[in-house]
Amino acid sequence: MSNSDNDKKIIEELQRKCARLQTEIDAIKIEQTNYLQNISHQLVAPLNAIKWHIENLTSGRMTNVDRAKKVMRSVYSQSTIAVHLAKNFALMSNLEADHALTALKEPLQAVSLCALAINLADDFQPLGWDKEIHIAVEKTNLDAAPDVLAMKPLISQVFSNIIENAVKYSSNGSTVFVRGRHDLSQDSVDVSIISRGIPLPTNVTEVFERGYRSENAKNKYPAGTGFGLYIAKRIVDIHQGSIKAQMISRDEAMFTVSLSVRGLEGKARIRDPKNRSSH
């Protein structure tokens, strides 16, 4: 083979590689554009609702006290959604940039999963008011469970994402149950969130894939990112715990998060317990 033929083959191979790289770059650009549009769309909706409610409250048109209270509850609900979305988008950005999430690793602290569940139930209860959905934390066994060593802001986001989904996709007038227990054999605390609504896919592991949304979910709640459960699983993995989803009846889904009580001890600096807060 002559040098010219060899050079020609090398050039052709480089051209193919360049074409593949360009295709990948174009796909990434499209994904980034869609991601930013999704962020904008998701955040603008609750912010516009808050703006509209505040305008009504300050204009003097809202003279009925009960109506004003309902509007304020809606403002609280929409602001909860906006804050929750912002946290998820921030986490997604860090996950894409740092697959180990080291940038978000904080000192471990002892976390009461019962207190955390109660606070989050209070936070997300306004989302269920219009559909008469109630969030019930069954404290009997969960309150007796020991604290777990965890990065509290991240673990809080795990349960926020699961509870928010449970409320969004539950049937009107149903109850979302949060219950847990201390598994002595594994020295872990297992927390389950149970809701009645649209079914999970046959292959339940799909719900933890990045961007996954079932057709049922899209029909029930068109606006959504498919990031929540993906983020939840990544955070639980970082804590060396487990998260699973299952259907326990025809229309009843259960998500269970298991976290070791002291499995991470010695793997990160432990925060002074005097600085603990319940939320």
Measured between alpha carbons, how far is 11 from 170 in angstroms, rounded to an integer? 58
Give this prediction's pTM: 0.74
Domain match, 65 and 123 both: no
Least confident window among 32-36, 98-102, 172-176, 194-198: 98-102
Range of the domain at 228: 105-275
Domain match, 87 and 148 both: no
Comparing 269 with 175, which gets the higher pLDDT?
Answer: 175
Amino acid identity of residue 233, one-letter, is K
Domain match, 91 and 109 both: no
Alpha-helical regions (H) of the chain = 3-58, 65-97, 113-129, 139-142, 152-168, 215-220, 228-238
Domain match, 189 and 161 both: yes
Domain match, 150 and 122 both: yes
Q: What is the pLDDT of residue 31?
A: 66
Q: What is the mean pLDDT of the chain?
A: 82
Residues 6+ away with beta carbon under 8 Å from 245: 200, 204, 205, 207, 208, 229, 253, 254, 255, 256
- At residue 135, the 3 state secondary structure works out as strand
- Flag whether pLDDT at 234 surpasses 80: yes
Domain match, 221 and 83 both: no
| CATH at 150 | 3.30.565.10
Comparing 241 with 68, which gets the higher pLDDT?
Answer: 241
Cβ contacts of 37-40, under 8 Å, gap ≥ 24? 38/225, 39/85, 39/89
Structural contact between residues 134 and 175, judged by C-beta atoms closer than 8 angstroms: yes
Residues 113-141: pLDDT tens digits? 999 999 899 888 888 887 899 999 999 99
Comparing 100 with 278, which gets the higher pLDDT?
Answer: 100
Phi, psi of 55 (to 5 degrees): -60, -40
Q: Quick one: how far is CA 252 from the chain centroid? A: 20
Task: Tally the domains of the chain.
Answer: 2
Domain match, 124 and 231 both: yes
- Tell me the sheet residues that pair with 259: 189
CB atoms within 10 A of CB 144: 11
Structural contact between residues 228 and 164, judged by C-beta atoms closer than 8 angstroms: yes
Upper half-sphere CA count for residue 136 (Cβ side, 13 Å):
12
- Flag whether pLDDT at 215 surpasses 60: yes
- At residue 70, the 3 state secondary structure works out as helix
Domain match, 80 and 130 both: no
- Flag whether pLDDT at 276 surpasses 80: no
Upper half-sphere CA count for residue 18 (Cβ side, 13 Å):
6
| CATH at 40 | 1.10.287.130
Domain match, 122 and 240 both: yes
Domain match, 158 and 114 both: yes
- Flag whether pLDDT at 95 surpasses 90: no
- Tell me the sheet residues that pair with 256: 192, 244
